[in-house]
Structure 1
């Protein structure tokens, strides 16, 4: 059994998939199994996966006949293996060859850390360098779960979940939900299980392109459908708040930590996303009334 499982969910990813797989095969830490799950692609994705699986015995490929949504696919690749460590990967992003090795070094040295990821640099659809925030600001090394929640809320974890984590800790979360911003909720649940470490070097290479799953123009309802084509959420923002609460209840925390974590969710929902946003909400209402 390999030390690490890597899960790569994909749907119609022919344009960038081959390069993404190559960057994983080139990792200096090679003791892994790569599970690729194709979510009913209609392009050359299955052929690309089979070609790489034939060339590298570490690769396992499975395919669904229909698109069941991103949440199903992300969870499928997690459940496919049983190694002590696990990492998700995207079909359009790349990794520095030392990415996995550097994250594994931290996890082996720091038992309190349950997830380690690195800073990022950015490329466009053609692979040219573009500007972007290197840090996701989710270096959550506080001792108590509610302290880590306080440090986490208000950040934007665009690449945290592509770090390397301890399978046991990830398995205690609810994994990927089928609702908008399920990735944010999952990071909060991981932080409840233990510390999150950010390596301050841009070893993750994030590709920004027109077909990316989320952009500033993507609505919450569109994002929810990406997670699950059957999603019918009427108020996605309210759903996210409810799921933060459910995540705390699911975490299995001692009572003092559970109460403190509920308090942090309430503070974030009522103050950060409520009263502090009132001027912005008022401006939107005024603009709408004007139109």
Structure 2
């Protein structure tokens, strides 16, 4: 089952749908959900739906924002295809190779503990697929049986590419919707790591168009992710994530079997402390960079004056005096 949230993507949606409908798998369906686009995105998608029964197109009555549209796609998957076993979100500007589903389904079937499988990705530059020439990142937890160890290891993952992997339904049933917070994919996948392992397929099976990114500022993210930003999103991101984690694991009891409430509370506190430690390390690194830049600038200013001093008579006398000392 594939959910495709769409928003103002008329320039990309045709190639995206061609890519999804060309996937080599015996049985799958695609639900495309448009979030009140003011262009021809819906019309293009419906032309594809008329020609292929595997595709269903829905249009929201009012704008939900990116996260709301992700959750709407998941809700429609439960309503229209209640028997699905695996689910994936697809971006409205990324392309997948035909073998994408088959490879990831095999990875999940080979490891019953796995909650999610994903592949390496390439990039789309000027309309052309670019395959990376080296392994840029790898995040797997197959060798980690303890949920807390997997949770701690999630600190080094790149959440964006992993979020668009293939999810096992039973973990989605347990965790629920994507949280309405900033950087939601990171905290969502961190919680998902408690429920099972992550598997990376070595093949490059999908391509990201990095030209359409939300942006790094919190204001731009808030505007893109939410039609009406919740009050929680104006808190520091670390507090947003910790509040959601504690509500999910402790209050609503959506934690994996065997994980007690006390340890869940500790996980929330650990997450908050770990986030602040990362911020402190980043601040120290930035301070060192600023200091090196300042020292380099000062050396450039002082060097000409030092040369003039050495060339002068007083400078030569001072140099001889220093050599004697």
Q: Same fold (TM over 0.5)?
A: yes
Q: CA deviation at 1:264?
A: 4.2
CA contact (8 A) 1:138 1:157 kept: no
Say which of 13, 17, 36 aligns to 1:17: 13
CA contact (8 A) 1:146 1:260 kept: no
CA contact (8 A) 1:150 1:264 kept: no
Q: Tell me: CA distance 1:136–1:236, structure 2 relative to 1, closer, same or farther (3 Å).
A: farther
Inter-partner Cα distance in structure 2 for 1:24 and 1:99? 9
Say which of 258, 279, 284 aligns to 1:279: 284
Inter-partner Cα distance in structure 1 for 2:115 and 2:134? 23
Q: Does 1:69 align with 2:65?
A: yes
1:155-185, Cα deviation, whole Å (9 max, x unpaired)? 3222111111111211211422222101111
CA contact (8 A) 1:124 1:130 kept: no
Range with greater deviation from structure 2 (46-55 or 146-155): 146-155
Q: Secondary structure at the match of 2:57?
A: strand
CA contact (8 A) 1:118 1:201 kept: yes
- Unaligned segments of structure 1, at least 5 residues: none
**Structure 2 partner of 1:237:** 237
Q: Secondary structure at the match of 1:226?
A: helix
1:55-92, Cα deviation, whole Å (9 max, x unpaired)? 11111111013321011110111111221111110110
**Structure 2 partner of 1:100:** 101
Q: Tell me: CA distance 1:107–1:257, structure 2 relative to 1, closer, same or farther (3 Å).
A: farther
Q: CA deviation at 1:95?
A: 0.6
Inter-partner Cα distance in structure 2 for 1:101 and 1:36? 21
Q: CA deviation at 1:122?
A: 0.8
Q: CA deviation at 1:112?
A: 0.4
Q: How does 1:104-143 map to 2 (within 5 A)?
A: 104-129=105-130, 136-141=137-142, 142-143=144-145
Inter-partner Cα distance in structure 2 for 1:24 and 1:36? 11
| Runs of at least 4 residues off by over 6 Å | 283-287
Inter-partner Cα distance in structure 2 for 1:96 and 1:208? 17
Q: Secondary structure at the match of 2:255?
A: coil
Q: Tell me: CA distance 1:195–1:260, structure 2 relative to 1, closer, same or farther (3 Å).
A: farther
**Structure 2 partner of 1:186:** 188
Q: How does 1:257-268 map to 2 (within 5 A)?
A: 258=264, 261-262=267-268, 264-268=270-274
Inter-partner Cα distance in structure 1 for 2:187 and 2:268? 14
**Structure 2 partner of 1:251:** 254
Q: Tell me: CA distance 1:45–1:189, structure 2 relative to 1, closer, same or farther (3 Å).
A: same
Q: CA deviation at 1:10?
A: 0.4
CA contact (8 A) 2:122 2:208 kept: yes
1:222-248, Cα deviation, whole Å (9 max, x unpaired)? 212211121153334232343344444
**Structure 2 partner of 1:36:** 32
Inter-partner Cα distance in structure 1 for 2:214 and 2:242? 20
Q: CA deviation at 1:138?
A: 2.6
CA contact (8 A) 1:181 1:224 kept: no
CA contact (8 A) 1:9 1:74 kept: yes
Q: Secondary structure at the match of 1:115?
A: strand
Q: CA deviation at 1:270?
A: 3.6
Inter-partner Cα distance in structure 1 for 2:137 and 2:189? 12
Once superposed, what is the RMSD of the aligned Cα atoms?
2.6
Q: Secondary structure at the match of 2:69?
A: helix
Say which of 168, 171, 187 aligns to 1:169: 171
**Structure 2 partner of 1:89:** 90
Range with greater deviation from structure 2 (177-186 or 260-269): 260-269
